[in-house]
Amino acid sequence: MSERDYTLEPDSELRFEVEGKKEVVVLNLLKGKAEIFGTEITPEKPYSFHSGAKVAVFTWHGCSIKLKGNTEGTYIAKETPMVMYLNTHACLERLRKQADEGLAKGEEARGPVTMIVGPTDVGKSTLCRILLNYAVRMQRRPLFVDLDIGQGAIAIPGSIGAVLVERAASIDEGFSQEAPLVYNFGHIAPNSNMTLYNILVSRMAQTVQEKIVSNRKVAASGVVINTCGWVKDDGYRSLTHVAQSFEVDIIIVLDQERLYNELVQDIPFIKVVFLPKSGGVVERTRAMRISARDDRIRDYFYGIKTKYHPHSFDVRLNSVQIYKIGAPALPDSCMPADMKMDDHMTKLVKIDPSGKLQHHMLAVTLTTDPEDLLATNVAGFICVVDVDEEAGTMKVLSPQPKPLPDTILILTEVQYMDSN
């Protein structure tokens, strides 16, 4: 196993990737101070990184690091946008202070609601993480809203979520996922059902607003919103919908000047800021994206360090109510005259449980009334491992022990094959 020490000058970062299956790379900070995406590294503590990890160890004042294990694409970069990201944090912090002062005087003040936009693979999630980490390191309690259904950092791909960030992200496990608020969308691209996506975004914005009103510390800290990398046509319109629903104060555009200019022109009343992407952000191929989604669902059930033990049990097919949101699109000529496209996309379709459910993720809702399905957040997700139509049962993988709660399940298009 290879082992190597690296000395970093102030304002530089060591970038590396872990490639091969089952490969583990262990990092130790030997001297100085360093951080990974805004989380400080504890000296002499070993940190493990597994296959698929793409890491940047940044230092403001210089440090030395030991890496044990086989890394790929390892180099020290002297050019990073970190100073600009830190300045952005400082601006947000000024707005939080103002909000604090306003709230202390009994005014209806609120910390900045910041939205990060840009095409895929420009480091949107990473910048969210950096800004949130810097905020909690200043004793703030911001909300993180993830609307990027392609990756689904909170819960699973195909869902949108929000969590209160009370601690810096753990280096290997990210932000703590205690009590997340999750809405199920059920597809990995918003254009699969734009109507539903926008409904869920509005719903999420309303709930976040309620949280802000109810907690002064959160109100002063504000919100950081991650968005999808689809920035053209309907994707663009959906970004403007997010900005309106959340009453966003600042939009940070990563990397794409065209998008920046469009937003400046179209929403002149919101501050739009352009920031460059980091040269370290790794572009992912379609295959890598699919594999990252699989890993995310695996982590949902088993935990990042396989520290959870999901439950596997049989459920009687006639004991569950399963719905799907959105009917297959009909050509305009076949639509009843009084029916709009939107109605189709939000139509609730009852599903007869069958072998077709195999490998699909099902959202476990909190309601028994189909009328509530569009607006309800979900308790979690289960995966249909196998269906035995003859026996009238399906085997599911679930984070919770049996029985399933007596609520409606929503069929999603997201699939997962459990190989553990």
Residue 123 assigned to a binding site: yes
What's the min distance (Å) between Cβ of 56 and ligand ADP? 3
Indicate the residue among 73 and 403 with the shorter CB distance to ligand ADP.
73
Indicate the residue among 67 and 396 with the shorter CB distance to ligand ADP.
67
Q: In the complex, which residues of this chain contact ligand ADP (CB under 6 A)?
A: 15, 54, 56, 120-126, 229, 278, 280-282
Indicate the residue among 71 and 407 with the shorter CB distance to ligand ADP.
71
**13 with 64: CB under 8 angstroms?**
no
Pairwise CA distance, residues 416 & 401, whole Å = 19
Indicate the residue among 131 and 201 with the shorter CB distance to ligand ADP.
131
Residue 122 assigned to a binding site: yes
Surface-to-core class of residue 283, CB atoms within 10 Å of its CB (0-12 exposed, 13-18 middle, 19+ buried): exposed
Indicate the residue among 17 and 100 with the shorter CB distance to ligand ADP.
17
Residues written for the chain: 420
Residue 340 assigned to a binding site: no
First to last CA, the chain: 27
What's the min distance (Å) between Cβ of 205 and ligand ADP? 20
Indicate the residue among 229 and 399 with the shorter CB distance to ligand ADP.
229
What's the min distance (Å) between Cβ of 233 and ligand ADP? 19
What's the min distance (Å) between Cβ of 37 and ligand ADP? 7
What's the min distance (Å) between Cβ of 282 and ligand ADP? 4
Indicate the residue among 56 and 200 with the shorter CB distance to ligand ADP.
56
What's the min distance (Å) between Cβ of 103 and ligand ADP? 32
Residue with the CB atom nearest ligand ADP in the bound state? 280
What's the min distance (Å) between Cβ of 211 and ligand ADP? 24
Which two three-digit tokens encode residue 228? 């999808």
Residue 352 assigned to a binding site: no
Residue 126 assigned to a binding site: yes
**48 with 24: CB under 8 angstroms?**
yes
Pairwise CA distance, residues 417 & 331, whole Å = 34
Residue 262 assigned to a binding site: no
Give the annotated binding-site residues: 13, 54, 121-126
Give the annotated binding-site residues for ATP: 13, 54, 121-126
